[in-house]
Amino acid sequence: MPEKKRLGKGLGALIPEVMDESSETNELSLDLIKPNPYQPRREFDDEKLKELTVSIKEHGVLQAVVVSPDDDGKTFTLVAGERRCRAAKQAGLKTIPAIVKPVDRKTMLEIALIENLQREDLNPVDEAMAYKRLMKEYNYTQDELARRLGRSRPSIANSVRLLGLSKKVLHMLSKNEMTPGQVRPLLAIDDQQKQEEAAALIVKDGYTAREAEKLVTKLNRAGETKKEEDTRNKARLDPEHAELQLQMQRTLGTKVKIKPGSKGGSIEIYYYGDEDLERVVSKLLPEGL
């Protein structure tokens, strides 16, 4: 899977109130540090963790983790640096350099999300779920979240939209069996079983993202052809309008609906993906815009 574009700003630039590199560092017992309960990553790459463990054995922990003191005054909750903590334990260390700062729950989730996006990419499903959680629990808009995390609003929107896929397709995406580009066209298929059937075909035949979009367009057209056949028989269109609607569909190669009104009416033209939109526009405007 192609590597995603990483965040252009460091943690300190994005959340300066917590990630201040000039803060005092303490050596804390690893046994006193609890995992971040808001960690969006559900799986860690064993191979990369082994590489970090080897590095720590040779050079030590080069960057302090960030922890927040617990109410009991004895233990701490990890804010940033879970991979470093895990690798340090595997390397046999008993303590780890840490910056101690009180951090609220919202900021814990933000930092964990940003750190994963920067240093070891989250899978697309975990990333989307983390965005959704920030918006749901802390009332972020997509624009606010984009500014806070140093990303574009469309990238946030496209990520969250993936959660509309079936659980089976999301599982395939989280396991890197499919790329976001391959699964995104499946959002145009309402029936989840048909989504899964299309996903299986995309994986089996190794379709590119563009080929997946063409497949979905083809499947939707095939489904619409049958629906249109039934609709024509049931539609409240007079014979002239029904024939005109059918001719437009044949000409444009997509679903068209004529909706008569008391003083005129409207025409709906459907498209399935950006490429299909361009094709329809070229039919309507052969000389271009």
**pLDDT 10s digits, 57-91:** 999 998 888 899 998 889 999 988 888 999 999 99
* Total-model pTM: 0.58
Q: Crossing angle, helix 142-149 and helix 124-138, to 10 degrees?
A: 120
Active-site residue, 110 included:
no
Cβ atoms of residues 203 and 177 within 8 Å: yes
**pLDDT score recorded for residue 140:** 84
Question: How is 10-47 classified by DSSP, letter by letter?
Answer: -HHHHSTTT--TTS--EEEEGGGEEPPTT-------HH
pLDDT tens digits for range 146-189: 887 778 888 889 999 999 999 999 999 998 899 999 999 999 89
Distance of alpha carbon 159 from alpha carbon 180, whole angstroms? 8
In this predicted structure, what is the pLDDT of residue 232?
Answer: 52
59 and 17 Cβ atoms separated by less than 8 Å: no
- Share above pLDDT 90 across residues of the chain, in percent, rounded to a whole number: 31
For 97, phi then psi, to 5°, come to: -65, 135
Contact 156, 140 (CB under 8 A): no
CB atoms under 10 Å from CB of 78, counted, come to 23
Domains of the chain, earliest start first = 11-123 (3.90.1530.30)
Q: What is the mean pLDDT of the chain?
A: 82
Residue 16 in tokens = 């300066």
pLDDT tens-place string over residues 119-158? 556 788 988 888 888 888 888 888 988 887 778 888 889 9
Read off the tokens for 251.
């000409």
Residue 226 or 86, more confident = 86
One-letter amino acid identity for 73? G
Catalytic residue among 27, 43, 82, 243: 82
Q: How does pLDDT run across 2-56, given as a tens digit for each residue?
A: 334 333 344 444 455 555 555 788 899 999 999 888 776 666 678 888 999 999 9
Query: Residue 11: what pLDDT?
Result: 47
